[in-house]
Chains A and B, each alone.
Chain A
């Protein structure tokens, strides 16, 4: 069964600084990987996904993530943080399980952006 570990439940950065949110996964087969963002009082919104092909994936709002199979990682980055990036971020993994696919979420990382 697959699992996701997000290192750091809280990350705080200054406006303009690099954002790095860490995600490691466990999967017995090639995984599909996702990052979702949740702003206060809203649902989750897809930032980006990795299925196959290029390992560096670009998403919305300037975010990108790199799939590293050897490290079983899918870290999320953004070169320069904006105040509007403050939100909860969830990494998720999905794999085929004999026709019963489920999306498994990490516990989330709350990003705070300081002025």
Chain B
């Protein structure tokens, strides 16, 4: 069982919809991440939050809006997405950031389909 919980597991949305992905961890980790993974590809980093502050934004389009309400929760708000945004969205956490030797703990992801 994963210690990082993501909801929903699956999401289908139209290009005009607004939806949110949610992530929760209770390991006391201070860093949380959003990754995007296309089929047969490695995960691509989108955002990093450290101590609830946005530390890295990998030039992600503004139709993706992250939010970290507290150290245990991470949201990703979606608006006006494109079909090419369909992917597996993975949340992860780590003890600290930056800390190069701190491994990531991943959730099982949200499978997003944009129609």
Contacts and interface: CB of A to CB of B under 8 A. Distances in A.
Interface stretch (A43-51, A64-72, A75-83): A43-51
Contact of B97 (A32, A46, A49, A101): A101
A105 B42 contact: yes
A105 B41 CA distance: 10
Contact of B101 (A42, A46, A49, A102): A49
Contact of B43 (A32, A41, A101, A105): A105
* Chain B interface SS verdict (over half): loop
- In this complex, the interface size class of chain B, counting residues with CB under 8 Å from chain A, is 20 to 34
A103 B41 contact: no
B22 interface: no
A46 B108 contact: no
B41 A108 contact: yes
A76 to B, nearest CB: 15
B4 interface: yes
Nearest to A31: B100
A56 to B, nearest CB: 17
Interface in B93-112: 97-101, 103-109, 111
Contact of A90 (B42, B98, B105): B42
A40 to B, nearest CB: 11
B12 interface: no
Given A42-B2, A43-B2, 19 more contacts: A36-B104, A42-B109, A43-B6, A43-B106, A44-B92, A44-B104, A44-B106, A45-B2, A46-B104, A46-B105, A49-B103, A51-B101, A90-B42, A94-B100, A99-B98, A100-B98, A101-B100, A102-B45, A108-B41
Interface of B: 2, 4, 6, 40-43, 45, 56, 90, 92, 97-101, 103-109, 111
Interface of A: 32, 34, 36, 41-46, 49, 51, 90, 94-96, 99-103, 105-108
